[in-house]
């Protein structure tokens, strides 16, 4: 194991919740509404169910190989060279996830906050913060999430309480208008954002002080994050309507702009931005951590820190050139990313689990 730092089960659970929320509270309502319209929140609930199955799958693999991370048991199960090739695909998946979110952060800043500032500035500054965090180590990151988590919950509660009076139930109706195929499509898109990417936590499970009830903690934390996404999706549609939610890039941010309580509490969209920046930071750093630890593991190195700066340069560069425009990004997320996440975050773990079970049965028979 390359990283010998230790984190507690509570810290692990909080990281899962924040990772699950991640970019989803700002971006997912739009994507789901474009698919399932006013039934987007129902698709989100179905997506939570799919994500639970996927997270249980990760937990089973982790239980079979408690002292190894994903890249390591790829080699154990598939053999040294084939395992390394498979691990490369996992590393690339994690890297693409990190660079995609870094682009989202920069794009949000230049379109909503500071349009005259080049996106390169925001991406570089944010990447430097991420590199500094990883330089300190995953143990420091885990302690940091304990500090920020109560503030995330407090700001989310403030947003939801403030938006409740503005919800119009007529915009949610008719319920179940979308057919089952459409709802399932939306659920798969949800799972590709909040469920399948949780495969990166297979790189953290060996670092836990104790792995008792890790599966239960994993599932519970993912459900909590999913409930938050569902509530944000429901309120976005309830206030803005399905059509507006599907057309705007950041529906929950637009939603917060409309809130006005007694002509006193206004312009609380800054709270949404703060929540998003915090959760996005942790999601990018966990993606990036998985990619860099996986790379060091593949190369047989004992320290990942020498890779931080060159990988940071690649991260910024890739984030600036991977999407020509936001329309391309939307198509990528709905098509390419879903297939990519389904392959790495579901099909690959299933393959590893099946082969592992078959090999153990064969060994038992041969004995």
Question: For 104-120, how does the pLDDT look when each residue is reduced to its tens digit (9 = 90+)?
Answer: 898 888 888 888 889 89
Report pLDDT for 197: 93
What is the signed CA dihedral for 167, 171, 175, 180, rounded to 10 degrees? -110
CA-derived radius of gyration, the chain? 20
Report pLDDT for 276: 85
Mean of the pLDDT values across residues 122-128? 92
Report pLDDT for 80: 84
Closest listed residue to residue 73, CA positions, set 356, 335, 362: 356
Q: Percent of the chain scored above 90 by pLDDT?
A: 36
Report pLDDT for 96: 93
Report pLDDT for 298: 87
H-helix or E-strand containing 265? strand 265-266
List the single range of 87-91, 105-109, 219-223 with lowest mean pLDDT.
Answer: 105-109
The predicted-structure confidence for 132-174, as pLDDT tens digits, reads as follows 998 888 889 999 999 999 988 888 888 888 888 888 888 888 8
Q: What is the DSSP letter of 202?
A: G
Q: What is the pTM of this model?
A: 0.93
> What residues does 261 pair with on adjacent strands?
265
More confident residue, 92 or 177: 92
Q: Mean pLDDT in the chain?
A: 87
The predicted-structure confidence for 34-80, as pLDDT tens digits, reads as follows 888 888 899 999 999 999 999 999 999 888 888 888 888 888 888 88
Question: Which region holds residue 262: left if phi is over 0, alpha if psi is between -120 and 50, else beta?
Answer: left
Mean of the pLDDT values across residues 175-194? 88
The predicted-structure confidence for 309-351, as pLDDT tens digits, reads as follows 889 999 999 999 888 877 788 788 878 899 999 999 999 999 9
Residue 2 pLDDT class (50, 70, 90 cuts) = low
pLDDT > 90? residue 301: no
- As given in the structure block, the two tokens for residue 287 are 């993606």
Mean of the pLDDT values across residues 234-241? 88
Q: How deeply is 60 buried, as exposed, middle or buried, from its count of CB atoms within 10 A (0-12, 13-18, 19+)?
A: middle
Question: Which region holds residue 130: left if phi is over 0, alpha if psi is between -120 and 50, else beta?
Answer: alpha
Closest listed residue to residue 236, CA positions, set 251, 258, 221: 251
pLDDT > 60? residue 1: no
For residues 321-336, one letter each, b for 16 or more C-beta atoms within 10 angstroms of the residue's C-beta and e for the rest, the string is eebeeeeebbebbeee
Mean of the pLDDT values across residues 82-108? 91
Cα-based distances in Å from 38 to 34, 100, 186, 282? 9, 27, 12, 30
The predicted-structure confidence for 252-297, as pLDDT tens digits, reads as follows 788 777 776 666 666 677 777 888 888 999 999 999 999 999 998 8
């Amino acid at each position: 194991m390359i990283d010998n730092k230790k984190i507690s089960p509570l810290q692990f659970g909080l990281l899962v919740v924040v990772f699950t929320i991640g970019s989803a509270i700002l971006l997912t309502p739009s994507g789901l509404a474009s698919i399932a319209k006013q039934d987007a929140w129902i698709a989100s609930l179905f997506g939570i169910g799919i994500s639970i199955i996927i997270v249980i799958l990760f937990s089973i693999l982790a239980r079979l190989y408690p002292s190894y991370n994903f890249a390591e048991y790829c080699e154990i199960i598939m053999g040294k060279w084939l395992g390394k090739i498979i691990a490369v695909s996992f590393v690339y998946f994690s890297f693409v996830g990190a660079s995609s979110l870094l682009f989202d952060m920069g794009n949000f800043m230049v379109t909503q906050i500071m349009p005259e500032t080049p996106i390169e500035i925001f991406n570089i500054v944010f990447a430097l913060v991420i590199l500094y965090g990883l330089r300190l180590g995953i143990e420091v990151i885990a302690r940091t999430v304990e500090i920020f988590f109560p503030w995330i919950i407090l700001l989310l509660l403030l947003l939801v309480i403030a938006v409740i009076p503005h919800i119009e139930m007529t915009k949610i109706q008719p319920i179940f208008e979308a057919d089952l195929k459409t709802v399932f499509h939306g659920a798969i898109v949800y799972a590709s954002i909040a469920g399948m990417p949780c495969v990166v936590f297979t790189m953290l499970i060996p670092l836990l002080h104790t792995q008792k009830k890790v599966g239960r903690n994993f599932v519970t934390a993912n459900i909590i994050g999913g409930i938050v996404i569902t509530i944000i999706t429901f309120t976005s549609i309830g206030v803005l309507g399905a059509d507006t939610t599907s057309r705007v890039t950041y529906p929950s941010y637009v939603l917060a702009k409309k809130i006005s309580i007694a002509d006193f509490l206004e312009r609380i969209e800054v709270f949404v931005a703060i929540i998003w920046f915090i959760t996005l930071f942790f999601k990018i750093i966990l993606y990036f951590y998985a990619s860099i630890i996986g790379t060091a593991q593949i190369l047989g190195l004992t320290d990942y820190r020498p890779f931080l700066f060159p990988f940071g340069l690649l991260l910024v560069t890739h984030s600036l050139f991977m999407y020509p425009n936001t329309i391309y990004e939307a198509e990528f997320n709905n098509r390419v990313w879903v297939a990519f996440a389904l392959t790495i975050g579901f099909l690959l773990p299933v393959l590893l689990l099946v082969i592992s079970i078959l090999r153990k049965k064969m060994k038992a028979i041969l004995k």
